[in-house]
Amino acid sequence: MHIEPLAPDSDEQAWPLQRWAAAGLPVPPSWRVHRADVVDAAPGELIAALSELTHPDEHRYWVMQQGTVNPESLRRNLANLDSDAALAAALEQFFGSDHAPEEVVIQSLPARRAAGVLFSRHPMRPDLDHIVVEGMAEDGEEKERMILQRSGEIAWSRSDTGALPRIGGTPFLELVQQLTRWTDVPQACEWIWDGEQLWLLQSLPVGSLPSPVEVWTRRHGMGLWTQVVSPLWYTLESRWLKVHFWRNLGRRLGWTEMENLEPYRRVHSHIYSNARFLRELHRLHPVSALEQTLPPAWRDGGPPDTDRRVRRLCSRTAELWSGWQLRRLERALAASPIPAADSSRDQLWQFLIHLDRLGERLAREEGVINYLRVPAAALEEETVPLASLLAPVELQVLCTLGRTPAAATLCEAVPDASAGADPVLPRFRDNPGELRTLEALGPERCRALLALDSDHRPPEALVLRARARGLRYRLGAVLRRQLMRMAAILVDEGLLQRPEDVFFLYFDEFWQVWNGQGGVNADGLGQRKLRYMSDAHQGAPDWIMDQVGYGINLEGQTHPLLRGRAWVPGRVEGCTRRLHSAWELSRIEPGDVVVLDQCDPGWLPWLCLASGLVLASEDALDSAAALARELGIPAVRGLDDAMHCLPEGTGVVLDGGTGEVTITHNPAPEEHAGA
């Protein structure tokens, strides 16, 4: 009797195995068996025909594909048989039924060393672009689980000794890459490993991963929103960017259907960006930096080239224009002295509006720089030198710290320096006590700071980015002084309890209070301050998709071994210090292993105290990553879930050469709760 080999065939009516083979997927040898041949076969003929299909020295397992489980299912019934005789008996029984189909497909599987399921996208976390592998060794007793980065590196596994770590990430990554070329729908694949090769047994769409309709992301990068934001600063800067960047850009690019959408919103005291704006921008400006601001389900690659309208905004002429505009803004801000002490209420308000208009002009340029030009900048290095990422005042702080870490010296040298642009954050002159922890900086780190290379010439987009950020910091400093003066008047009039309460008013509320058109609910204001400080120490979900938050520790437990990307070699042991905002900087002590997601360059002086850094981001322009390399601080980067898998006070061993973070002890429950 003749058993027909199953030929590759990309036709939609072909067997799935044929379509997979046509796509180059690693499908085991397969054949088509016809009902008539089995029914008419003489005794023993079927077994003999099956035995001729494989090498006589090979002991293989057989799989018989019996069609779909039910009409609504894509999953197929698979019968596993361990001998030619067992398969022959199964075929005779199957075709002997009244409603048997005219044909089935059989596969010859190699001897299994391990088998399991692979998910080409994380089945439980649509925010993570991870590959999840589950499986078990043939002689194993426990199911194993391994999570891979998109680079194929192991992000997490229960141990280094199981079957999955021995196989490694490369075969699974190659399978996912082949699947991605075949279909853009996330897949769940049944696989087997024969000791040398990974084989695909069955692949099904992952139905639990629909594409989200509404996505808000805190990990929008661009260096604009890196920590908690006060209500007043949110209503100022988000309006500046909304009206003077996004709305202008939308008119240029024809986004008429998005005119009434909000690009930002404040949740858990953090700013979330509407990813729809980022997706539309990525479609016209397909660069990887923008793609990382989108959830995996929205990363479609975009067209091959940047739209000509966007190219004009990124041109050399446009860069020269931005540089000229920033110089004008610098001069305008320098010529904007705080009104005299005897100024009228109207004069004080008019000066605040003057600063507001400077903020609008700055946002127009800074939006183009951060969302268009910086993502388009061709970076030949994995990270540029630290000095090239910093504004002059930020570099001045580090150089002053290198000469002497005394708090008084820093206050005198850079009084308006701060750990963020938000006016609620004190400047060095306002709170020198926050600087005293820096006095523990050792001489070796001080010498490294003094040796920072400031001669490197980065792309012009990065120069403009640093200048614009420095200008935003200066604007925040002037706003802080002006707001505190106005708040002092409101306190004297009994309209506010404390001057710092002004930062927790939204701008329209501030206008009403200042003009005597409304009062302040002291209890409500107190609750805002409490929530703000709580969020400053706890962080927030990385994504909100269809009103569900992702990027929090859903399991409520840590993992014994985490892997990121090796960054700065060195092995250190210590306790973790999670850094969510500038309000936690003074808690960093020498020897801490600092864990952080996004980094404001204003945090760098305190990061100099760390014995090691665990960075969730792989941003090429991450100032924390650049600092680690310049100062030789052992560091691991790209450990996506670090902020949620490493609670405060966790004992760890960090190996920057291998990218591994090994947990040595977990914090006590009360210690974790207190953190």
CATH, residue 81: 3.30.950
Q: What residues in the chain have per-residue pLDDT under 70?
A: 55-60, 66-78, 159, 207-209, 221, 301-303, 378-383, 454, 552-559, 668-675
Task: For 186-201, give one letter per residue: b (16+ CB within 10 A) or e.
Answer: bbbbbbbbbeeebbbb
Q: Is residue 321 part of a domain?
A: no
User: Which one-letter DSSP state was computed for residue 610?
Assistant: -
- pLDDT score for 554: 42
- pLDDT score for 486: 95
Q: Give the up-direction half-sphere exposure of residue 192: CA atoms within 13 A in the CB hemisphere.
A: 18
One domain for residues 104 and 165: no
Q: Is residue 49 part of a domain?
A: yes
Q: Is residue 356 part of a domain?
A: no
One domain for residues 37 and 22: yes
Domain end: 57, 75, 109, which one?
A: 109
Helix %, strand %, coil % for the chain, to 5?
A: 40, 20, 40
- pLDDT score for 539: 84
Give the pairing of strands 548-550 and 543-545.
antiparallel
CATH of the domain at 188: 3.30.470.20
One domain for residues 45 and 63: yes
Phi, psi of 358 (to 5 degrees): -65, -40
Q: Is residue 61 part of a domain?
A: yes
One domain for residues 90 and 16: yes
Distance CA 318, CA 263 (A): 24
| Other residues' Cβ atoms within 10 Å of the Cβ of residue 536 | 18
One domain for residues 93 and 121: no
List pLDDT tens digits, range 66-119.
665 444 545 556 677 778 888 888 888 888 887 788 888 888 888 788 999 999
Q: Which two tokens stand for residue 309?
A: 């309208």
Task: Output 494-500 pairs: Cβ under 8 A, ≥24 positions apart.
Answer: 495/519, 495/520, 496/520, 497/522, 497/525, 500/424
Q: Is residue 599 part of a domain?
A: yes
One domain for residues 23 and 40: yes
DSSP 629-670: HHHT--EEE--TTHHHHS-TT-EEEEETTTTEEEEEEPPPHH
Sign for the CA dihedral angle at 547, 618, 659, 116 comes to: positive
Domain end: 185, 205, 225, which one?
A: 205
- pLDDT score for 62: 83
Q: Give the up-direction half-sphere exposure of residue 373: CA atoms within 13 A in the CB hemisphere.
A: 28
One domain for residues 130 and 82: no
Model pTM greater than 0.75?
A: yes
Q: Is residue 509 part of a domain?
A: no
One domain for residues 81 and 125: no
One domain for residues 49 and 125: no
**Angle (nearest 5°) at CA 104 between 98 and 107:** 145
User: Which one-letter DSSP state was computed for residue 110?
Assistant: P
Q: Which two tokens stand for residue 522?
A: 């002291």
Chain center to CA of 185: 21
Distance CA 37, CA 1 (A): 7
Give the pairing of strands 215-217 and 198-205.
unpaired
Q: Is residue 8 part of a domain?
A: yes
Distance CA 110, CA 108 (A): 7
One domain for residues 565 and 670: yes
DSSP 611-628: SEEEES---TT-HHHHHH
Q: Is residue 138 part of a domain?
A: yes
One domain for residues 63 and 161: no
Domain end: 148, 183, 205, which one?
A: 205
Place of tokens 């299909």: 53
- pLDDT score for 69: 45
| 299: nearest Cα among 211, 203, 390 | 211
Structural domain of residue 185, as residue ranges?
Answer: 114-205
Number of domains in the chain: 3
Distance CA 33, CA 15 (A): 13
One domain for residues 128 and 104: no
User: Which one-letter DSSP state was computed for residue 345?
Assistant: H
- pLDDT score for 56: 59
- pLDDT score for 381: 58
